[in-house]
Structure 1
Amino acid sequence: MRKEIVAGVYPTMLTPFKADLSIDFDAVERLIEWYIKKGIDGLFAVCQSSAMFELSKRERKELCQKTVEITDGRYPVMASGHVSDVLEDQAADLNDMADAGADALVLVSNRLAAPWEDDRIWMRNLEKLIQMLPEDIPLGFYECPYPYKRLLSTEIIKELVVSGRFEFVKDTCCSPTLITERAELVQGTSLKFFNANAATLLHSLKAGYSGYSGIMTNFHTDLYYKLCSSWKEMGDKAEELQNYLGNASTIECQFYPANARYSLIKEGIFSNLLSRRQDARLRQITESEKMEIDQFYAVSKQMSAIFSEKNQ
């Protein structure tokens, strides 16, 4: 039985590595249990944060399978692994995730057409791809910024709603105006939008978005869980928490995901900063950047104490 994709917080999972750059599945288990302890509603595995573009086909499937096994039905697991260029290979990518036990398959919006190709070509390719996927599994979309960002147009979103196959969109538009328009388009439908942008999170929740799925869950998941699950009851405190989360999210511009790996070392989850990303191999996180994360980490702990359930 596949678990339902419910509203809430879906961390974009990082992938820890051993010294030989193989996946450290012991650390994967620690990471999943840490997410759960902090408060989540599901997991987004084999995504860009997971280094899906740097993993082999076998590793992507194994990572999804291990995530499903460790989660053991406690939470829904969405997975992408949608990295190939040719449609038949894309279908193989996604079918691997389905075979590994994912509860939903997340397609990457930039895989279906080149930057210069229009929505007609994009839709034609989507229709072909869907024909090669299992009919009994929900689908989603991720507006992944790599290798280029392709936002879903209004017309495309309408088509996704009509199809009835789609239940999840990870939104990276970062635009309050567009967020409001998108929320209206999917109101009363099975398609849920999850914001990846911290600064606009409370605005999106008020507009009708279903939650958060972004990289800042790798720093302080609990604060996102608090806002997404309790913003209606929090009153002015919701704005106070939003102000912190929006400001804190500027750490994304530092050196992600190395900074998140360093933060998770402080949590006792990761054992090293090793990554397969080329930029992370060419330069190390600096001592000054580590100090910034140390200070960021301390303030996040203070905010977690302030906004913990027992104090609110």
Structure 2
Amino acid sequence: MVAIVTPMHADGSVDWDSFEKLIDWHIAEGTDGIVAVGTTGESATLGFREHDEVIERTVDLVDKRVPVIAGTGGNATDEAIRLTRHAKRAGADACLLVTPYYNKPTQEGLYRHFHAIAMAVDIPQVLYNVPSRTGVDMLPETVGRLCEIDNIVALKEAKGSIERIHDLIEHVGDGMDIYSGDDGTAMESMLVGARGDISVTANVAPKLMHEMCAAAIAGERERAEILDARLQPLHTNLFLEPNPIPVKWALYEMGYIGPGIRLPMTPLSDHFHGPVRDALSGVVSID
């Protein structure tokens, strides 16, 4: 599944025409699901109305061809509930809920936060743990408690640790699906039991990422390793600066979107253009 960017014009306004073309391209290339307004979609710099509109338009443009997962997390529980309620009304298939950021809740606080959202909105919910971004790490024991809630169906784990994936699977059993949120370790995560990857790299190489994920989920290690070896330069170089800076520049270089990105994020530094372009050249055609 692609953690899709939100295309923007040079002035920072949302570029809806490019967004439509991106979604159609992803579906044609085999992307299995669209995850809108997550970290890569610049949820942190979109206003409430823009956030809502990206979800609405994603649902309309996808038109039930693949599942739509809407990013609706927040560092305030009431805010996350409000966003999640809107996503349900808009027709999203599920919601992606990041752990609260900056305020660093306890494990009990994390449990109560996600429990409150699940009780408030009857929609499938995918939790999202990304300690490098949020400053808080939701432990497997807490996830094990949350998997007992019926509409909490999955976790996107972005710690980047295969040991953590093992621990999570041990704690949740069949109670929820575990997805990788770290492209560099996604293949190994799927080979040990993760159900897929919510991917940044898929923004620029959707077909190859789909094929790698399918091979890894099927346990076809040799084929998965061959495909992932082609993708590894992207897994690395798309994080030379904070996401989504490199991936938006890469899509601009490929001709799919304009140059827009919102402050405090800035365009990719000139000295990283070469490494990102080289990573792209091994996988995709650049006009």
TM-score in terms of structure 1 length? 0.83
Give every structure 1 segment of 4 or more consecutive aligned residues whose post-TM-superposition deviation is greater than 6 Å. Answer: none
SS of corresponding position for 1:223: helix
Contact persistence 1:110–1:143 (CA under 8 A): no
Aligned twin of 1:166: 152
Q: Structure 2: how far apart are the matches of 1:53 and 1:294?
A: 27
C-alpha separation in 2, matches of 1:236 and 1:128: 43
Offset of 1:217 from its aligned partner? 1.4
Among 103, 110, 121, the alignment partner of 1:114 is: 103
Which deviates more, 121-130 or 21-30?
Answer: 121-130
Q: Does 1:195 align with 2:180?
A: yes
The aligned runs of 1:290-305 (5 Å cut-off) are 290-301=273-284
Q: Alignment partner of 2:238: what SS? A: helix
Equivalences, count: 283
CA shift digits 1:216-265 (9 cap, x unpaired): 11221222211111234745232222334334311133234232223212
| Structure 1 match to 2:205 | 220
Distance 1:266 1:187, change over 3 A: same
Question: 1:156-189: CA deviations, max 9, x gaps?
Answer: 1111221122122111121111111212333333
User: Alpha-carbon deviation of 1:292?
Assistant: 2.4
User: Is the Cα–Cα contact under 8 Å of residues 198 and 245 in structure 1 kept in the other structure?
Assistant: no
Q: What is residue 254 of structure 2 aligned with on the other side? A: 267
Identity over aligned pairs, percent: 22
Please list every run of 5 or more consecutive structure 2 residues that lacks an aligned counterpart in the other structure. none
Which of the pair has more CA radius of gyration? 1
The structure 2 residue matched to 1:125, chosen from 107, 110, 113, is 113
Check if 1:62 corresponds to 2:53.
yes
What corresponds to 2:228 in structure 1?
A: 242
In the aligned structure 2, how far is the partner of 1:208 from the partner of 1:147? 25
| TM-score, normalisation: structure 2 | 0.89
Aligned AA (1:114): N
Distance 1:152 1:210, change over 3 A: same
Distance in 2 (alpha carbons) for counterparts of 1:286 and 1:120: 40
1:229 is paired with a residue of what secondary structure?
Answer: helix
State which of 77, 93, 99 in structure 2 corresponds to 1:103.
Answer: 93
Q: CA RMSD in A?
A: 2.2
